[in-house]
Chains A and B, each alone.
Chain A
Amino acid sequence: MTLATELSAPPSARLAIDKVSKWFETARGRVQALDEVSLQVAEGEFVCLVGPSGCGKSTLLNMIAGLEMPGRGSVVAAGQPVRGPSRERMMMFQESALFPWLDAFGNVMFGLKRKPGLSDRERKEVAEYYLKLVGLEKFMHANIHELSGGMKQRVALARALAPNPRVLLMDEPFAALDAMTREQLYGDLQRIWTQRHVTIVFVTHNVREAVCLGDRVMLFSPHPGRIREEFRITLTRPRDINSVEVAGYATRITRALKDYMEHGAGI
């Protein structure tokens, strides 16, 4: 494998989630997190899952990642049933989950070192490429605690992209950041997605964020988690979260969300 093929975008993957249900055992007994959720994600599509807490959107993301297994139903990625975690589907978490015992570069190298077929030199170049892509070439050897929240999430993004996954799963990655930093990252993420064209499933409870980023927004309702409605966002990119068009979509989705919350379980 050469560096060029390693850095070129791989064919992004299709995801097929078919009638997935999931239950958890809790102190209060058995709780259903998801009820027959079905979702198709096309190659290179950017899909956002929104909904209030308890709607199972993170659980669904974990199942696509292979960190959890569906109770019933199936998750298929690029034609293969998901049986466990894989470098093809990388995950980014709300807390950066960066390893404090490694520097920024070491964190990006962690996944690369587990990837066979690359020389050490190539791994190093790949890591440098991605740290540059997220604009952190000056902070390659910074300790994690020295980085701001936004920079940490950039390193986490570089770390997730470095093994060249076909699917990127993002679990509220910007929720803990301040508004200014978030807006920068919306821009960066759209730019990187356009460049790499990886399939992205993005979980958030911020409706505007979902409209700003997604090709489609899936609205979830809780107890148990179900997909209620689907919104296709046809705005041109790059999108600005403060634009009137984004606000227009967001208002519609928020209204729908409120309806489901108010008339809730009855529907």
Chain B
Amino acid sequence: MKRFLTAALFFVLLIAAWHWVYVRRIWSPVLVPSPESVARYLWETVRDGSLWSSTVVTMKRLLAGYFIGLLAGVPLGFLTARIRALRDTLGVLALGLQGLPSVCWVPLALLWFGQTEGAMLFVVVMGTLWSVILATETGVRNVNPIYIRAARTMGSTGVHTWVHVMLPASLPFIVSGMKQGWAFAWRSLMAAEIYVTILTGFGLGHLLHYGRELNAMEQVVAIMLVIVLIGLLADKILFSPFERFLHRRWGTEK
């Protein structure tokens, strides 16, 4: 409760300071809109449903690409960890491409797929995949061999060992890879949406882009707020349960 109050007080003060800056006209209102105008924009777009529909468009792209990246990345990470030839090929490729800022995929995606959902999906998958492969590979290679031996004496072989020993044993690494993959996917999708208009869906990035085109600063700030909120929510919903489980079981909480 006390922590909540501290946080609440902090944000109230932050908004108050913003309001004060606006009232004192330190910068032009075109550059620094009032908190009220941002709130009004949010209220209106929530009411007419446009904010919600843009959020849905963006989240659909993000989640679809993210889960494809995850479903491909974890098994590929396992394979690169276990097969030397793959580690020397796919592993090196993953390391290289993970270093590539994911927005760099946007021009290639546009040339390959045109202004389509396919391009968006591709960018998100590329943002996710390499981090997940690398984290899974590291996780699997760090599994204590004694777990595997113990499992073998208890009658675990092949796929069972992978699913019930290697996977949970490397979970701490995989979860951090999932978080990194999520962060990369989210950034690359925003870059793609700001950069490219796609007629099949008008996402948050597009709203941000048109806010700039229309010089509507309250729209720009409001959408940025929404994007921040989605990031926080994703962390709480997608990753916190995993992390709580890891902390409790492994005893890593401070």
Tell me the dominant secondary structure on chain B's binding face: helix
Please indicate which of the listed interface residues B155, B248, B251 has the most CB atoms of chain A within 10 Å of its own CB.
B155
Q: Which of B146, B149, B151, B250 contacts A110 (CB 8 A)?
A: B151
In the complex, A95 has a CB within 8 A of chain B: yes
Residue of A nearest to B171 (CB): A101
| A99 CB–B CB distance under 8 Å | yes
Q: Which B residues from 145 to 187 make CB contacts under 8 A with A?
A: 146-147, 149-156, 160, 164-165, 168-169, 171
Q: Mark B29-45, 1 if CB is under 8 A from A, else 0.
A: 00000000000000000
Contact of A85 among B153, B165, B250, B251 (CB under 8 A): B153
The answer to whether B155 and A95 touch across the interface, beta carbons within 8 angstroms, is: no
Contact between A90 and B169 (Cβ–Cβ < 8 Å)?
no
Interface CB pairs A-B, < 8 A, 17: A65-B153, A85-B153, A91-B149, A91-B153, A93-B146, A97-B149, A99-B168, A99-B169, A101-B250, A102-B249, A103-B249, A111-B153, A114-B155, A144-B251, A145-B249, A146-B251, A163-B154
Q: Which residues of the partner chain B approach A86 to less than 8 Å between Cβ atoms?
A: 153, 155
Q: Which residues of B contact A115 (CB under 8 A)?
A: 155
Q: How large is the interface on A (under 10, 10 to 19, 20 to 34, 35 or more residues)?
A: 20 to 34
Please judge, given known A-B contacts A93-B146, A100-B250, A146-B251, whether A111 and B168 are in contact too, CB under 8 Å.
Answer: no
- Chain A nearest CB, measured from B173 CB (Å): 13
A101 and B155 contacting across the interface, CB-CB below 8 Å:
no
Q: Which residues of A contact B (CB under 8 A)?
A: 65-67, 85-87, 89-91, 93, 95, 97, 99-103, 110-111, 114-115, 143-146, 159, 163
- CB B169 to nearest CB in A, in angstroms, measures 7
Residues of A with C-beta under 8 A to B249: 100-103, 143-145
9 more A-B contacts (CB under 8 A) besides A143-B251, A144-B249, A145-B251?
A87-B154, A90-B154, A95-B146, A99-B169, A102-B168, A110-B154, A111-B153, A143-B249, A163-B155
**Contact partner, A67, options B144, B149, B155, B248, Cβ 8 Å:** B149
- Knowing A99-B169, A101-B168, A101-B169, the reply to whether A85 touches B147 (Cβ < 8 A) is no
Quote the shortest CB–CB distance from B176 to chain A (angstroms): 16
B161 to chain A, nearest CB (A): 10
Could you tell me the distance between the alpha carbons of A38 and B248 in the complex, rounded to whole angstroms? Answer: 47
Closest A-B pairs by Cβ, 9 of them: A145-B251, A111-B154, A114-B155, A101-B168, A97-B150, A97-B146, A85-B152, A91-B153, A85-B153
C-alpha gap A90/B149 in the complex (Å)? 11
B155 touches A87 (CB 8 A): yes
Task: Contact check, B154 vs A67: say whether CB atoms are below 8 A apart.
Answer: no
Chain A residues, CB < 8 A from B155: 85-87, 111, 114-115, 163
Question: Would you call A97 and B156 a contact (CB within 8 A)?
Answer: no
For the complex, give the distance between the alpha carbons of A110 and B171 in Å. Answer: 18
Residues of B contacting A145 in the complex (Cβ-Cβ under 8 angstroms): 249-251
Q: How far, in whole Å, are A111 and B250 apart by their CA atoms in the complex? A: 21
Q: Are B150 and A114 in contact (CB under 8 A)?
A: no
User: Are B160 and A93 in contact, CB atoms less than 8 angstroms apart?
Assistant: no
Structural contact, B153 and A89, CB atoms closer than 8 A: yes
